[in-house]
Amino acid sequence: MVKITTRQQFEILVQQMEQNPSIARGVRAFGETKANTEHVWKEISSKLNSYGPPTRTSEKCQRVWIHFKAKLRKKMAHNRRNITGGGPSAEISLSALEQAAADFLQMGTSVDPPGRTF
């Protein structure tokens, strides 16, 4: 059975990640235990599950977030590569939700780091 996350669930997920930036980035803040992180993910998954099917465990919700970030990073990298080439633009536009996530995760600097590169 294919589980497709609804737009409303993605909006709630991004909203929860904005409130928990260390969890959103995948790192624990100093002094935060693994049990605390698991508890926060369980709260997030229960909020997401309250918005209807599909329902997921906290581990599956983490995977959804990881895949969302990976797809977003891939789009941004594609757009960055497209800027330097000639010819017609093949830029992939980001949705408002994706743009909000990219802003608070500061993905622009990871995709296009400042300074000189080799």
* Contact assessment for residue 68 and residue 10, using Cβ atoms and an 8 Å cutoff: yes
Spatial separation of the C-alpha atoms in residues 85 and 65, rounded to whole Å: 31
Q: What count of other Cβ atoms lies within 10 Å of the Cβ of residue 96?
A: 8
Q: For position 80, what pLDDT does the model report? A: 83
pTM of the entire structure? 0.85
CA distance 90 to 81: 10
Q: What is the pLDDT of residue 8?
A: 94
Taking the C-alpha atoms of residue 106 and residue 98, their distance in angstroms, rounded to an integer, is: 12
d(CA 95, CA 15): 15
Q: What is the mean pLDDT of the chain?
A: 87
